[in-house]
Amino acid sequence: MKYKSTRGGVADLSFTDALLMGLASDGGLLVPEQIPDVSGKLDEWRSCSFVELAQNIIGLFVDDIEPTTLNRLIAEAYATFDHPDVVGWKTLDKLTVVELFHGPTLAFKDVALQLLGRLFQHVLAQRKQRLNILGATSGDTGGAAIAGVRGQHNVDIFILYPEGRISPLQELQMTTVLDKNVHCIAVNGTFDDCQRLMKETFADLEYKQKYQLGAVNSVNWARVLAQIVYYGFASLKTSTAAEFSVPTGNFGNVFAAYLAYRMGFPIANLIVATNDNDILARFFATGEYAVSSVHQTLSPAMDIQVASNFERFLYYHFDEDSVRLQTFMTEFAEHGKASLGAAPNTALFRSVAVDRGQTLAAMSEAQDLYDYVLDPHTAVGYAAAKQLGRADAPILCIATAHPAKFPEAVVAATGTVPTHPSLDALVGLEQRKSSLNADLRAVKEFLATAVSA
């Protein structure tokens, strides 16, 4: 399997080259040259454990790591989860919650980043290289990425996050990790500022090469690849094709579901559930992709206006036409908006924006009716599923984080205080972080100084 850029300037990359490149050198995102059709293997795969299915799916996309080694890395990654099936499964009447928060940092990002850290470690050791990872987080990516690479001798990690715009516990999961290879950078701005700074740093190809930069955000293809697995796994547990409701900010999670659908897994529909930052809901309703102001909400990991993974979907929506994609993305970069001219003609996707009141009501309802606690992000998916879910298909709601990571929202909705031992243990620990303005020069100087040291 080879990889290419959505913008047409990069092609014929091996998986490990794509892994280390992260963001494509032409400014696009890397995608596989083909999407394999697995429809003929579904009956055989229904009896697979999560790890076995991961080995089967990921092996289709990786042909330059020896299969025995790849399978070992996959098994080691998911041995860090505290659920016997890796993902949990909670049925609430006609809706089933797919729990993806049983990893080390209690967030769905662990599913990809526990594997990504091991892939980096293996490939860098084989090549006798080192890597400086630059990432941006709206909450969970940072902690999960740090947990995946902390203490590694051939990797340093730099995480940008918006000061005061992630939950205190999410910040503690990053800043209390004191390993020398971990650098947490609080940015005076929004997550979109952090994401812009990351992309602009990668766009300086001379700088990127000089300081050996790699990506850990979902711009990295390996992140999306690992996420395909849980959609395949969940879809094979239902008797008929399922509908997934996915809390969505950067579009990476729901894009993985789209690829699972393209591969032939039994998926009927995808609900793109957004909060008040509704750029994606507006796109699917009108065809216009237009930036608005970033709103702080109860679900901070989704407080995003520029969805970095959306380019991958547009590439396939434009029938892999890189010229048309570049025209669209250039218009968006220059004017803050671009349009298809009409709502996209797709029966697969539906989208809705869920506001603060609806989020709190969803959390309260789940507690009252089912004695089940939703985190505010999952509550957005739950509310969207209640609004848009079809009566003739199983509805699966993706649970992206443990509720104990967002105690203020849970208390406001339910009056109960959620806890988790791993989070309780963070309180009072020594912290280390740096603070910067949302300035490209400041970020590049910080990285250069830290790497040189």
Kindly tell me the number of DSSP H helices and DSSP E strands found in the chain: 19, 15
Q: What is the mean pLDDT of residues 391-414?
A: 95
Q: Is 165 among the domain residues?
A: no
Q: What does the alpha-carbon distance between residue 285 and residue 350 come to, in Å, rounded to a whole number? A: 8
pLDDT of 139 higher than 90: no
At 218, is the pLDDT very low, low, confident or very high (cuts 50, 70, 90)? confident
Structure tokens at 225: 């690849």
Q: What does the alpha-carbon distance between residue 26 and residue 15 come to, in Å, rounded to a whole number? A: 17
Q: Is 200 among the domain residues?
A: no
Structure tokens at 40: 């003929």
Q: Is 233 among the domain residues?
A: yes
Task: Dump pLDDT digits (tens) for 21-65.
Answer: 999 999 999 999 999 999 999 999 999 999 999 999 999 999 999
Q: What does the alpha-carbon distance between residue 332 and residue 354 come to, in Å, rounded to a whole number? A: 25
Rounded to the nearest 5°, which phi and psi values hold at 193? -60, -45
Considering the candidates 109, 199, 208, 386, report the single residue annotated as catalytic.
109
Q: Is 297 among the domain residues?
A: yes
Task: Dump pLDDT digits (tens) for 67-90.
Answer: 999 999 999 999 999 999 999 999
63 CB neighbour count, 10 Å cutoff: 14
Q: What is the mean pLDDT of residues 435-447?
A: 97
Q: Is 19 among the domain residues?
A: no
Residue 84 has a pLDDT of 95
DSSP three-state, residue 322: helix
Looking at residue 277, its amino acid is N
Domain CATH code at residue 369: 3.40.50.1100
pTM metric for this prediction:
0.94
Residue 129 has a pLDDT of 94
pLDDT of 453 higher than 80: no
Q: What does the alpha-carbon distance between residue 445 and residue 451 come to, in Å, rounded to a whole number? A: 10
Task: Dump pLDDT digits (tens) for 342-399.
Answer: 999 889 999 999 999 999 999 999 999 999 999 999 999 999 999 999 888 899 999 9
Task: Dump pLDDT digits (tens) for 190-200.
Answer: 999 999 999 99
pLDDT of 140 higher than 90: no
Q: What is the mean pLDDT of residues 232-239?
A: 97
Q: Is 298 among the domain residues?
A: yes
Q: Is 302 among the domain residues?
A: yes
Q: Is 425 among the domain residues?
A: no
Indicate the number of domains in the chain.
Answer: 1
State the residue range of the domain holding 326: 88-107+221-420
Structure tokens at 429: 């620990």
Active site residue 90: no
Task: Dump pLDDT digits (tens) for 94-112.
Answer: 999 999 999 999 999 999 9
